[in-house]
Amino acid sequence: MTLSGIAITMTDRGEALASPSSPASPPVVSVQGVDLTYGRGKSAKQVLSDISLDIGEGEFVVALGASGSGKTSLLRLLAGYERASAGRIDILDAAAGAPRPEVGVVFQHANLFPWLTIRRNAEFGLLMQRVGKRERERIAAETIAQVGLGDYGHYLPYQLSGGMKQRAAIARTLAADPRIVLMDEPFGALDAITREHLQSLVKSLWQQKRRTFFFITHDVDEALYLGTRIIVLNGSPARIGTDRPNPLSGEADSVTRLRQIPGYAAEREFLLASLESP
């Protein structure tokens, strides 16, 4: 079965799984031999070295790395906020270089406009794309309901808890229906219970929307729960030390359940060792 070009298979639990695009379809993100150096001359600092990564449509790629390893720098390159010093990045068949509506970004601290209600925040991307008022309001209301904030559309960001703000930020990004969603440690500042709720939310949104996700974390369990594929950044400057499918993908409906699965401990050990390798 295919749906807008994505191969869909049904598991025996009736859950639809998009397989990474077939070898024939071009990747939606293509990173080839990328270096990134900040600054010049004596103050130059190389952060990324020879990064190559192809991401197929519908994949959920999680990038793991220690703090300061260059994860945000890689995401900023994909978002078009930063230019590579060497190599090439193509996003949806065009060279990366500037932010664009097909690529949505969610950061650790909700990037909401403080003077706009949650509803108006969610409408913002659509307004930029000149979507009409009625359609904007319909999509915003639908997306806000999807993230569980149906009753809070008229609130201002300061009236929400940290977890609710992150839900609103996710709604704001997804309302514009980007084909690629980049998330930079979006739950890093939340308590454990809220984080678990939002992890499940992101997973179900990915399952419903079938967009391509690139998600950064330093949390191995979060990676094993969310990713269809996990990459690990190692060294300084960072390179991709590990890049492999996640064998536990789709095996549990929460991080707590994931921890009870046979095979979880071995995968966790493997990734922790990968994170610590030089």
Ligand X SMILES: Nc1ncnc2c1ncn2[C@@H]1O[C@H](COP(=O)(O)OP(=O)(O)O)[C@@H](O)[C@H]1O
**How do strand 6-10 and strand 16-18 relate by DSSP bridges?**
antiparallel
Task: For CA atoms 217, 208, 106, 186, give the dihedral sign.
Answer: negative
Distance of closest approach, residue 161 Cβ to ligand X, in angstroms = 25
If the CB atoms of residues 76 and 179 are measured against Mg ion, the closer one turns out to be: 76
- The Cβ-side half-sphere exposure at 141, using a 13 Å CA radius, reads 6
Distance of closest approach, residue 136 Cβ to Mg ion, in angstroms = 32
217 binds Mg ion (CB under 5 A): no
Distance of closest approach, residue 106 Cβ to Mg ion, in angstroms = 13
Task: For the segment 7-66, give every residue that binds ligand X (CB under 6 A).
Answer: 38-39, 45, 47, 65
User: What does DSSP assign to residue 158?
Assistant: G
Which residues partner with 89 through β-bridges?
Answer: 31
Residue 249 contact among ligand X, Mg ion, none, beta carbon within 5 to 8 Å by kind = none
123 and 173 Cβ atoms separated by less than 8 Å: no
Judged by CB under 6 A, which of 21, 72, 143, 246 binds ligand X? 72
Closest to 207 in 3D by CA, of 5, 25, 56, 6: 6
Cα gap 231→61, rounded to integer Å: 7
Distance of closest approach, residue 37 Cβ to ligand X, in angstroms = 9
Looking at 71-79, 87-95, 110-118, 245-253, which segment touches ligand X (CB under 6 A)? 71-79
115 binds ligand X (CB under 6 A): no
- For residue 60, CA distances in Å to 69, 115, 181, 199, 209 come to 21, 33, 9, 13, 12
69 binds ligand X (CB under 6 A): yes
72 binds Mg ion (CB under 5 A): yes
Judged by CB under 6 A, which of 27, 56, 58, 70 binds ligand X? 70
Residues of the shown chain interacting with ligand X in the complex, contacts defined by CB under 6 A: 38-39, 45, 47, 65, 67-73
- Residues within the interface to Mg ion (CB under 5 A): 71-72
